[in-house]
Structure 1
Amino acid sequence: MAVERLREIVFIAVRTLFAQIEGGRVRCESEATLQLHLGRVITTVGDLALVHPRETFSIELEKPLPGAKRGRIDIWFRLTSADDRECRCAIELKFFKKANQREPNNRYEVFKDIARLECCKDVADLGFMLVATDHPHYVDQEVYSPDTQDFDLRHGKSYLAGRQMVYRTPKPHGPPITLTHDYNFTWTDATSQLRYMLLEVTPDLVV
C-alpha cells in the first residue's frame, strides 16, 4: 500500500506540472528547471497525502548514492508511516531540447539512468524515469542509425530484459548497457510543444 501511495504522488505531480507548463503558470527551459518545479509539486502532493499526525514526508534533490562512482538521484522522496515504516522513491529526469543536437548520446543516457535506478535498491523501493522533449526524433523517428539503434525508446517500442545494447560508433559514448527488466515505452502529449515519457522502474539490485 505504501508503494501505491508513492506511485500516486508521482502520477499526480507529473500531470500537474505539465498542466502548469501548458497553462503558462511555469516555464521549463532546462532540465534544472524541470527538476526544481517537479520537486516543488511533489512536495505539495506528498504533504497532502499525509493523513495521520505521525506520518512524515521528506524530499531531496541530487541525492548522492552511497559507494564510489554511483552518481546522484535527481529527485528522491520518502514517506514514513505512523508506525515508522519507510517507503522511498527515486526519480531520474531528462529534458532534451531539439536545439542541443545530441540525440544519439541522449538516448544512451536515458538507458544509463534506467540502469542506475535498477541498481538503487539500497535507497529506493520504487523508481521512475521521466523524459521530456520538444524533439520528435526521440518519440517517432522512422529509423535510427545502425550504430545507435540499440538505444531505442520511441513510442510503442519495447526492451526485453537481458538484451545488451551497444554503441557501435568508432568512439562509443559509453560501454554496453544491459537492463534486468522488460520495458514498454509510451509517450504522452504533454503540451503543445512537449511530449513526455514516465517509465516505472523496479529497483532490485545494489552495486
Structure 2
Amino acid sequence: MFKIVKNLNNKCIMNNIMIKVDLKDRKILYELDLDSRQSLTKIGKKVGLHKNVVVYRIKRLIEKGVIINFYTVIDSFKLGYNSLRFYLIFRHITPEIRKEMVDYFVNNKHTWWVGSFEGSYDLAVLFWVKELQDFYIFWEETLKKYRHYFQIQSVCNYVQLQLFRNSFLLDEPNKTDREKFEITGGGRKVKTNELDFKILEILS
C-alpha cells in the first residue's frame, strides 16, 4: 500500500509545501492506494496512460514527496493478536520529555504504530498483544513513568477495522465508491510459523 499525503484542490500539502498534481496523478494514487499489487499495465488501462508513463509519474510522485512510504496492511486478528490503541493529551511537557516518551513507545516490542498529532490529541499508539495482561503490565509501567505528563488518556481495544476508498482523489467521486473495501478483525485465525513471520517482517 502507498501512504498518500492529503489532497486538496488538486494540490498535495506536505511540510507546508504545495505540490501540484493533475487528475492523472490523482487517478494513479487512487489505484495504488486501492490495490498496489495490481500491475502497472492494468493501472495504465484504468487511467488512460501507457505503462511507461505510469512508471514515470510514480517515480516523479516519489521524488516530489507525494508518495512518502510503502507499507503492508496486516490483519493482526488473524495472527491471534489483540489490537489496542491509546490516545494522549500532554501537559507540563518539554521537547526532551516528549522525545523520550516517543522513543519509549517506539522501542517497545509490542508497538506497531506511533503517531504524533496537532489537534484533539497529541500522541496515539497502536499496540498488538496476544494476551491483554501483557498490555496492562505495560500500561501500569507507563503510568509510573509518565502519568504526571498525561492530561487525558484514552485506551480502547478495537475488534474491527474498516478501510474506505479514497475517492476524494477523483474529480467526480462516485458516492457508492465510499463503501468499505477491506475489513480486518473478522474471520478465523490463520495458522502461521516462524517463516511466515519473517516474510511479514520483510514486507512490513
TM range (shorter): under 0.3
* Larger RCO: 1 or 2 (CA < 8 Å, sep 6+): 2
Larger Rg: 2
TM-score, normalization by structure 2: 0.24
